[in-house]
Each structure stands twice: as structure tokens, then as C-alpha cells.
Amino acid sequence: MIEIRAAEITDLPRVAQLVALSFHPGGGWQALWRSFIQLGIEQDLRDRWHRERPHYRCWLAVLPREPSSFCVGSVEVQLREIQGQPHPYLSNLAVHPDYRRRGIGRRLLHTVEVSLCPTYSQLYLHVLAQNQAAQQLYARCGFVVVGESSTFWGGRKFLLRKSLGGDRPYSPSAISSWV
């Protein structure tokens, strides 16, 4: 039985491991390279945790009975300025390769949406144009493409938005209800 819960700071190494494996799969020299990437991801997670809170949240999907609750999924959400306004922005949605197509990605998205609603009315994210799996998931969960831009490496990425149930505009005081 998979459980979704808010991450604690002690979870960040296992989140970094999962994100590195999900976005940089592969064996051999790629596995070696992954361990360096993982260190960088963990540092980024710690920076966001300290710098962005209380406007930052990370959720995990865990197997609670496994030793130290094995992490099979994660997602982050923070406030980011989009089109001149601060909006919740979702990033690093990742599901362990052995646990995909079991609805975990959808459950993590749903958890984020419930935590934001009704304080926020819109949720944004970016997805790479080549990432068909993630695009299918987001389309199925009600996200629509609202923009397109280039990545640092010259590829294309889409800006996606989902309207949540809330209808209140952003206000700094509303943020406290998010944590």
C-alpha cells in the first residue's frame, strides 16, 4: 500500500536519489555520472527547503513497510512569478521506474492540488516537448498548454496550467494556510 506524505528535511537524500534515477536512468558510466548529479540535486533541494519555505513543499509516495519507508515518488511545489504574478509552480515530479503506470504520478498531482485549493486558483509547470509520458499524464489530469519556450540546451518546453477550484487571487496572508 503506497502512502503519500509531506517530506521532512531528513527525506531529502532519498528524494535526490529518486529524482536522479528518474531523470537520468541507465547503467554503466551513466550510473556513475548519476551519483554526481544526485549530490547536486540534493544541494538544490536543501537550498529550496531553506530559502523558499514556507512557500515550498515537497510530497513523497512511500512504501511504509519497507525499511526507512522506501521512496517511490516525489514532487515539489513552490511559488514562482509567472506572467508578472506569483503562482504555485510544480517541479521534479518523479516516480521510480519500477513503480510507474500504477497511478502514483496522478496521486501526487492530486495531493498537490488539494493542498493548494482553495487558496490558489491556478497551478503551473514546465514539461519538455520530448517528454511524451509526462505530457500524457498532465493532459489526462486537466493541464493545458499556455506557452512554449526554449531550454538552455536548445530544446523546446511547454508551460502548462491547470485551473484549480479556488478563486481567490494571490495574497501574502493566504500563504500561511499553505503550510
Distance of CA 90 to the CA centre of its chain: 5
Q: Which of these ranges, 26-34, 42-50, 79-87, 125-133, lies near ligand COA under the rule CB under 6 A?
A: 125-133
DSSP state of 172: G
Residue 148 or residue 167: which is nearer to ligand COA going by CB? 148
Among 24, 80, 87, 102, binds ligand COA (CB under 6 A): 102
CB of 128 to ligand COA, least distance (A): 7
Residue 119 or residue 126: which is nearer to ligand COA going by CB? 126
Among 2, 22, 69, 86, binds ligand COA (CB under 6 A): 22
CB of 168 to ligand COA, least distance (A): 27
Residue 106 or residue 168: which is nearer to ligand COA going by CB? 106
| 54 closest CA partner among 119, 150, 133 | 119
Question: Per rule CB under 6 A, is residue 41 in the interface with ligand COA?
Answer: no
Q: Which of these ranges, 39-47, 81-89, 136-144, 169-177, lies near ligand COA under the rule CB under 6 A?
A: 136-144
Contact 61, 95 (CB under 8 A): yes
Question: Per rule CB under 6 A, is residue 94 in the interface with ligand COA?
Answer: yes
Residue type, 98: D
Q: Which of these ranges, 36-44, 91-99, 147-155, 166-174, lies near ligand COA under the rule CB under 6 A?
A: 91-99
* Per-residue exposure over 61-75, b if at least 16 CB sit within 10 Å of its own CB, e if not: bbeeeeeeebbbbbb
| 151 closest CA partner among 134, 127, 175 | 127
The set of residues, in sequence order, having a beta carbon less than 8 Å from that of 64 and lying 6+ positions away, is 1, 3
Q: For 14-77, give the DSSP string.
A: HHHHHHHHHHS--STHHHHHHHHHHHHHHHHHHHHHHHHTTSEEEEEEEETTSTT-EEEEEEEE
Question: Per rule CB under 6 A, is residue 62 in the interface with ligand COA?
Answer: no
Q: Which residues make up the interface to ligand COA (CB under 6 A)? A: 22-23, 93-95, 100-106, 127, 131, 133-134, 136-137, 140
